[in-house]
């Protein structure tokens, strides 16, 4: 019987177990530079088979929340190198989640105070985080402008450049492309945010084009075995929706299959919410079958609302890896606690976004 605690190989990533720390935005990187607290935070959790960092912007334009880190300046890469060195010193494996928020941003966070970019000029009915005088506040996102066709190759190049910097300069074992939760790549995928009438809009093939081009570029630059991708077929996060997600995502995974990716990271249901959405049914088994039938061999990672018991059942049902989010915030030694059936610390929601060590590096281990 497969267990969470067995070693596993996902592409070029050698994992000590099948437990993954999911990406968790914490808003503790002033000036987009991780601090020494981040070194402590990630190294405390290095017993996870795989650590996926908080979403990290590929460019200044890709920023959408206050005090989130980047991968586009030397001081950011140097700071991340201290993180990866600390994780590796404890035998851990860590990848950077590379991110462009698209329309989920605010003019205050954009270079020169300009409008955020998006596939189409449709404002996301959601909020982002600004921090003034150390106090985080949720504010409405700004109205975006549609990316020009001539700008899209530059977006692809930014993803490629960030991936190369993450692996070659910051010392990450790989990258995870963030194509979920209503951010830029997800916006291009879904009809609720994309009403373009050019090669990147309209048909499923066109709406999926940017995601596939980005993934091809990143895999070509650092090797498919060092690349994962995060998808959320039906989450309503950040005001995102698609009229018919099943054929869309089955097309996406068939296109990803030949790229030799390390893993596909699937958010089941609503991110941070219900695993089943009656108004948005989706067949994840059919999605996985489409990927495997097309030759996809990447590990299948599941995410959303898992505890130890549910995770073991997921493995029995054919998942390869299980990602845990909020439980890793409060339990730096989550792997040990799951193995021993120990009680779990309860996360303090008031400290999730912004702040210092409190609620970040001060949760006790057993």
Q: Based on the residue annotation, tell me whether 183 is a catalytic residue of this protein.
A: yes
Give residue for tokens 């050019």: 198
41, 42, 183, 291: which is the annotated catalytic residue?
183
Per residue, the 3-state secondary structure of the chain, as one string, reads CCCCCCCEEECCEEECCCEEECCCCCCCCHHHCCCHHHHHHHHHCCCCCEEECCCEECCHHHCCCCCCCECCCHHHHHHHHHHHHHHHHCCCCEEEEEECCCCCCCHHHCHHHCCCEECCCCCCCCEEEEEECCEEEEEECCCCEECCHHHHHHHHHHHHHHHHHHHHCCCCCEEEEECCCCCHHHHHHCCCCCCCCCCCCCCHHHHCHHHHHHHHHHHHHHCHHHEEEEECCCCCCCCCCCCCHHHHHHHHHHHHHHHCCCEEEEECCCCCCCCCCCCCCCCHHHHHHHHHHCCCCCEEEEECCCCHHHHHHHHHCCCCEEEECHHHHHCCCHHHHHHHCCCCCCCCHHHCCCCCCCCCCCCCCC
Spell out the residues 6+ positions from residue 325 whose beta carbon is closer than 8 angstroms to its own: 22, 24, 272, 303
Query: Residues with catalytic annotation?
Result: 183
């Amino acid at each position: 019987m497969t267990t969470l605690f067995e070693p596993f190989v996902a592409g070029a990533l050698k994992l000590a177990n099948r437990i993954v720390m999911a990406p968790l935005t914490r808003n503790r990187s002033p000036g987009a530079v991780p601090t020494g607290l981040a070194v402590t935070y990630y190294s405390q959790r290095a017993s996870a088979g795989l650590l996926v960092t908080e979403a990290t912007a590929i460019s200044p334009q890709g920023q959408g929340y206050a005090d989130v880190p980047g991968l586009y300046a030397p001081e950011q890469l140097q700071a991340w190198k201290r993180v990866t060195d600390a994780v590796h010193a404890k035998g851990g494996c860590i990848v950077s989640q590379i991110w462009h928020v698209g329309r989920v941003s605010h003019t205050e966070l954009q270079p020169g105070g300009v409008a955020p970019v998006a596939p189409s000029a449709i404002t996301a009915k959601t909020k982002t985080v600004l921090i003034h005088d150390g106090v985080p506040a949720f504010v409405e996102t700004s109205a975006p402008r549609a990316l020009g066709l001539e700008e899209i190759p530059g977006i692809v190049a930014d993803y490629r450049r960030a991936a190369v910097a993450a692996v070659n300069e910051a010392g990450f074992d790989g990258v995870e492309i963030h194509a979920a939760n209503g951010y830029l790549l997800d916006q291009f995928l879904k009809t609720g945010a994309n009403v373009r009438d050019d090669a990147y809009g309209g048909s499923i093939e066109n709406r999926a084009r940017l995601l596939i081009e980005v993934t091809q570029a990143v895999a070509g630059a650092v090797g498919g075995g060092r690349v994962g991708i995060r998808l959320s077929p039906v989450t309503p996060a950040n005001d995102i929706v698609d009229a018919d997600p099943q054929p869309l995502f089955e097309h996406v995974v068939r296109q990803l299959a030949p790229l030799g990716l390390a893993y596909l990271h699937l958010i089941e249901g609503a991110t941070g919410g219900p695993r089943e959405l009656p108004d948005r049914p989706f067949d994840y088994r059919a999605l996985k079958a489409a990927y495997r039938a097309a030759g996809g061999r990447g590990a299948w990672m599941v995410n959303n609302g898992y505890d130890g018991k549910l995770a073991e059942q997921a493995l029995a049902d054919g998942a390869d890896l299980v990602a845990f989010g909020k439980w890793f915030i409060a339990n730096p030694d989550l792997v040990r606690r799951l193995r021993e059936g120990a009680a779990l610390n309860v996360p303090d929601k008031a400290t999730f976004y912004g702040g210092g060590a409190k609620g970040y590096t001060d949760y006790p281990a057993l």
